[in-house]
Amino acid sequence: MKPTKAYAAHNPAAALQPFDIQRREPGPKDVEIEIAYCGVCHSDIHMARNEWSFTQYPVVPGHEIVGRVTKTGAKVRRFKAGDAAAIGCLVNSCRKCPNCKAGLEQHCKETILSYNSKDRDGTITYGGYLLCAGITTYSPLKRFGVRKGSRLGVLGLGGLGHMGVKIGAALGAEVTVLSHSAGKRADAKRLGAHEFALTSDAKQAAALAGRFDVILDTVSADHDITAALGWLKIGGTVVLVGASPKPLALGAFALLGRKAVAGSLIGGIAETQEMLDFCARRKVLSDVEVVPIQKVNEAYERTIRGDVRYRFVIDLKSL
């Protein structure tokens, strides 16, 4: 076992604080990395505060991890010490079930998430802090055929939303940001959106009726999804990736125009690599604010207030 420094929450009301964890030695197929940076996803906040009611304390959040390989197991072929490596939301799955074979490891019954998950040895996994926001937006945009000429609405301009805008624009779609924050109008254009609509303004919202092929809904809290359905063309789809802890109210009539509400959960390993290659090729980068680990609790509060442009990333040199 190897003592490792981390930051953990010990109960729903507690701030994250320094916490020493033990890491097992790498197994034959494991890669050990020194974490350099880790993004802060709103899911970390839901999880640290037990807003989804399945947190196991103490919890060490973080699933947007990049670093350098320090050690590899005997059977590892694709990585060697010194290589750059990245870890997203999951660290293991069975590789044999239909979902694993279809590249949907995130839906494997034996998936082990990067944190808050039981590892094969019975211990609980701990995270570290582009690998969630990028794949979570890329996967549904591809699945629902967003391409040149598509009209895409991105509802909520946060960490996921800003990647949705950039990836949607890179796929050739005409992108509109649908936001309840008037102050994000200029950013929306800068990030590559063609239009911006303030959803809390009744006039602007009414003008959106029947506009979009697809709306990518990234909102982290309870909100009016029935209104979003009204902004779709006949036959359009709202893809929900935001994970509101409270159920959303759905008006039946809003669906009758051959509309659909779909959902999407991160993405598999092969598609995550495809997303990274796509973003590298098209120079799609995240807009980040780098903070030391000591400011992680402040970063949580600012994320909740919508005061993040557009992803906090922790520099682990500070740990």
- Judged by the rule CB under 6 A, the positions of this chain that interact with ligand NAP are 41-43, 46, 132, 136, 156-161, 179-181, 184, 218-221, 223, 241-243, 264-266, 303, 306, 308
- State which H helix or E strand residue 20 sits in: strand 17-23
Amino acid identity of 69?
A: V
Q: How far is CA 24 from CA 19, 32, 120, 130, in A?
A: 16, 10, 12, 26
Tell me if 47 contacts Zn ion by CB under 5 A.
no
Cβ-closest position to ligand NAP: 158
Q: State in angstroms the smallest separation of the CB of 159 from ligand NAP.
A: 4
Sign of the CA dihedral 197, 199, 205, 208?
A: positive
The rounded distance, in Å, linking the Cα atoms of 60 and 62 is 7
Distance CA 113, CA 63 (A): 9
β-pair partners for 195: 176
Distance, CA of 248 to CA of 290 (rounded, Å):
33
Q: Which does 180 bind (CB under 5 to 8 A by kind): ligand NAP, Zn ion, none?
A: ligand NAP
Q: Which does 227 bind (CB under 5 to 8 A by kind): Zn ion, ligand NAP, none?
A: none
Rounded least distance, CB 123 to ligand NAP, Å: 24
Closest approach of ligand NAP to the CB of residue 28, in Å: 30
Torsion of CA 304, 307, 310, 315, to 10 degrees: -80
| Partner touching 143 among ligand NAP, Zn ion, none, CB below 5 to 8 Å by kind | none
Nearest distance, CB of residue 298 and ligand NAP, angstroms: 14
Residue 108 in the binding site for Zn ion (CB under 5 A):
yes
Contact assessment for residue 160 and residue 134, using Cβ atoms and an 8 Å cutoff: no
Find the binder of Zn ion among 8, 100, 130, 167 (CB under 5 A).
Answer: 100
Residue 170 as a binder of Zn ion (CB under 5 A): the answer is no
Choose between 117 and 264: whose C-beta lies nearer to ligand NAP: 264
Judged by CB, which is closer to ligand NAP: 31, or 276? 276
3-state class of 76 per DSSP? coil
Q: Is 8 in the site for Zn ion (CB under 5 A)?
A: no
Q: What is the distance between the terminal CA atoms of the chain, rounded to a whole angstrom?
A: 20
